Amino acid sequence: MAIDWPKTALEVLNEEPLVVKNPKTWYHIHTYGGWGQFFKGLRNKKILATRCTNPQCGEKRLWLPPRANCPDCWHDMQWVEAPQTGTIYTHSVVTYPGELFKLPPGTPLISVEIEGVCTKLMSWLKEGKPKFGMKIKAVFNTERPTNSILDLAWVPA
Amino acid sequence: MIKFGPGNLRIPKFEKPVYVVAGGLTDYRKKYPEKNTSELCTMALRMAVEENDLKVDPEEFRRMVNWVVYSQFADHFGDQLLAAAKIHDYLGFDPLGNIEVKTGGATGGSAVLAAAQAVASGYADCVPVVGWERMDEVTTKVGNSYIASAACKDFESELGWMYAAYYALMAQRYQYENNVPHETLARIACKNHLYAYYSPFSQNPGKYTVEDILKNDIVSDPLTFLECCVMSVGAAVLIVCDEKVANRLTDRPVRLTAICGGSHTLRTADRRHMPILLLPNETEATYKEYFTHKRTDWPGFSSFLASRMAAYLAYNMAGIKDPVEDFDLLETHDAFTISDVQTYEDIGLRPYGRGREFIESGEAYFEGKLPTNLSGGLIGTMHAVGATGIWQIVEVLWQLQGKYDKFHGDPKMWERYGKKKPADWKSLQLKNPKRACTISHAGTGSHVTCAILEKP
Ligand SMILES: [Zn+2]
């Protein structure tokens, strides 16, 4: 019994030089692992950050994005609710986003400074025009969650 | 707070001196369907071996090689895992050992660092470093997505899928803190597009005015397309060796007196405030009045600790006291105009907050005190990522060897790539330069290498 030739072909885009199209259609199964609490927290309108539990650790600052392990001593961290107000540390309107961006071109990206948090979380501004030092508050996508960082956004406070 | 222990700031040293003797390039294009990746690497290797006035023939050179380092940023782009094995075989280097290095945009610099480590330790004495990137298999929009997957995919990539946006956030903050006019940033773009105009290898040459740059389409405000690096296809090769092999290969060896690496968090967000790490030309007094109500933290979003760390180590390793005085030329990783100004400060050309002066004073130009990116940079000539850090060192090697004209001015070199040498071509060969520096940079400053080359 002979085996049939394949039924699908690589599409030829150009003859000289010969250029073909290699299709890609699969997905990746991605775990958030120990950071999953953060994304689940957004469903309950909570911003969950982490703090080191090691009594010997010198720093103990509040991390957001959260880390399951402390970068200073590698010990486990503890989940702590972060404030839901902050200020705009920097901003930019992205006119030509890359493929996969789920928001429209012209969406303002912001970095948020939150009191007591040692980082400046990258996020987006859902309403208004961004300005340095502008006071903002968190809003949550609980209607149709994307289960990504986009479920957190900010509006003028 | 990052607190350094004594081991953390140990100055690296080479057990044996390391030299670079020859380099080879392809031209750089947005799309390059005429050649596959293996062929591009062969083109660059042949130029290195056949056109650098080596004192041995190619076959003899092949018999001298004992280790090879490969440099490619993203398997996503090439869509071929273990591409290095395929290229190593194609170049006829089997069964010699080899490694492939990956540190994002700094991959080329890190690959040269790995080759230098091999030579300095005595593990090898003749090491080709071969880098490439093939960015034309996908659309530009998908390409930007691939590049943005080199940001944190859990917490940042989704916000734009666009690296220019992450640099735009830094640009806005930098301008807010330091009050830098957009015109100053645009002057960097003008300069580098212009120098690319004199290079047969360049992808995006042009004689632009500051106004042209500012009126160009905005990618993510404030950055316009002409202020951003190109996405390229192409390859570059550098030959790294010890002193004995260097003298056998060439009459004009150049010593790699230092090449050092630094790093910082992949997410700009996670950069905690810390004391400024001082370079040899700075003291605590330099920054007595640095912090203000606007400049609240360091490195913050305005500075790259990775670049500062790499420069700190390399300057101390090579005995550099003042970079503007001690270097005769410089190649920075000008992926964006803003990152160039930031880098001027990180590597001590000006104190933090005053980077604009380096371009505004004219020092950064061909006629200036420290000509920068005479190659045309990433904005004008190329960013075939895995090749970039290698290409930068090849360009300064040729300058130090007095071979700029040979590789950029020969009309046949232009014809080789289907181009015509411009009637108003001008030589950018510096007069007897002695010492050069190159900066290779990844992410929003996740990895940086600083290399120092010197004529013996
Ligand atoms: Zn800790």
In tens, the pLDDT along A112-156 reads 999 999 999 999 999 999 999 999 999 999 999 999 999 999 999
Range 2-61 of A in CB contact (< 8 A) with B: 14, 17, 19, 22, 30, 32, 35, 58-59, 61
List, for residues B35-91, the tens digit of each pLDDT value: 999 999 999 999 999 999 999 999 999 999 999 999 999 999 999 999 999 999 999
Q: Has the ipTM of the complex gone over 0.90?
A: yes
Distance B349 CA to ligand 1 centre (A): 36
What is the pLDDT averaged over residues B389-413? 98
* Domain shared by B262 and B313, yes or no: yes
Model-wide pTM > 0.90 = yes
* Domain shared by B290 and B430, yes or no: yes
* Domain shared by B240 and B323, yes or no: no
In chain A, the residue whose alpha carbon lies closest to the alpha carbon of B220 is A94
Tell me chain B's radius of gyration from C-alpha atoms.
20
* Domain shared by B388 and B295, yes or no: yes
Question: Does the residue B437 lie in any domain?
Answer: yes
Kindly state whether A93 is in contact with chain B, defined as any CB-CB distance less than 8 angstroms.
yes
Distance from CA of B246 to the nearest CA of A (A): 40
- Structure confidence at residue A24 as a pLDDT band (50, 70, 90): confident
* Domain shared by B96 and B68, yes or no: yes
* Domain shared by B365 and B414, yes or no: yes
Beta strand extents in chain A (DSSP E only): 11-14, 19-21, 48-52, 77-81, 85-94, 107-113, 120-124, 135-140, 152-156
* Domain shared by B126 and B271, yes or no: no
Q: What percent of chain B has pLDDT over 70?
A: 100
**CB spacing of B169 vs A90 below 8 angstroms:** yes
Distance A58 CA to ligand 1 centre (A): 7
**CB spacing of B220 vs A118 below 8 angstroms:** no
Distance A91 CA to ligand 1 centre (A): 31
* Per-residue burial over B205-217, b = 16 or more CB atoms within 10 Å of its CB, e = otherwise: bbebebebbbebe
Two tokens, residue B113: 């660092």
- Measured between beta carbons, which residues in chain A are less than 8 angstroms from residue B159? 109, 122-124, 149-150
Question: Rounded to 5 degrees, what are φ and ψ at B245?
Answer: -65, -40
* Domain shared by B242 and B274, yes or no: no
Distance A74 CA to ligand 1 centre (A): 6
- Structure confidence at residue A85 as a pLDDT band (50, 70, 90): very high
| CATH number for the domain harbouring residue B422 | 3.40.47.10
- Measured between beta carbons, which residues in chain A are less than 8 angstroms from residue B171? 92
Total number of residues shown for chain A: 157
Inform me whether the pLDDT recorded for A27 exceeds 80: yes
The per-residue pLDDT for B1 is 57
What is the pLDDT averaged over residues B262-285? 96
In chain A, the residue whose alpha carbon lies closest to the alpha carbon of B165 is A94
* Domain shared by B336 and B386, yes or no: yes
* Pairs of residues, one from chain A and one from chain B, whose beta carbons lie less than 8 Å apart: 130
Average per-residue pLDDT in chain B?
Answer: 97
Distance from CA of B169 to the nearest CA of A (A): 5
Domain count, chain B: 2
Supply the range of the domain harboring residue B434.
257-454
- Structure confidence at residue B333 as a pLDDT band (50, 70, 90): very high
The per-residue pLDDT for A59 is 81
H helix runs in chain A, sequence order:
36-43
Question: Does the residue B389 lie in any domain?
Answer: yes
Question: Does the residue B351 lie in any domain?
Answer: yes
Mutation for testing the A interface, residue in B134, B159, B265 having most A CBs under 10 Å: B159
Of the residues B221, B249, B277, the one at which a domain ends: B249
Question: Does the residue B427 lie in any domain?
Answer: yes
* Domain shared by B274 and B345, yes or no: yes
Of the residues B249, B279, B302, the one at which a domain ends: B249
For residue B371, say if its preceding peptide bond is cis, omega within 30 degrees of 0.
no
Of the residues B186, B221, B249, the one at which a domain ends: B249
Q: Which residue has the tokens 């005995």?
A: B319
* Domain shared by B346 and B439, yes or no: yes
Q: How many CA atoms lie within 13 A of B275 on its CB side?
A: 10
List, for residues B14-44, the tens digit of each pLDDT value: 999 999 999 999 999 999 999 999 999 999 9
Q: Where are the domains of chain A?
A: 33-156
Question: Does the residue B158 lie in any domain?
Answer: no
* Domain shared by B242 and B306, yes or no: no
Question: Does the residue B92 lie in any domain?
Answer: yes
Question: Does the residue B61 lie in any domain?
Answer: yes
Question: Does the residue B101 lie in any domain?
Answer: yes
User: Which distant-in-sequence residues (6+ apart) come within 8 Å of A23 by Cβ?
Assistant: none
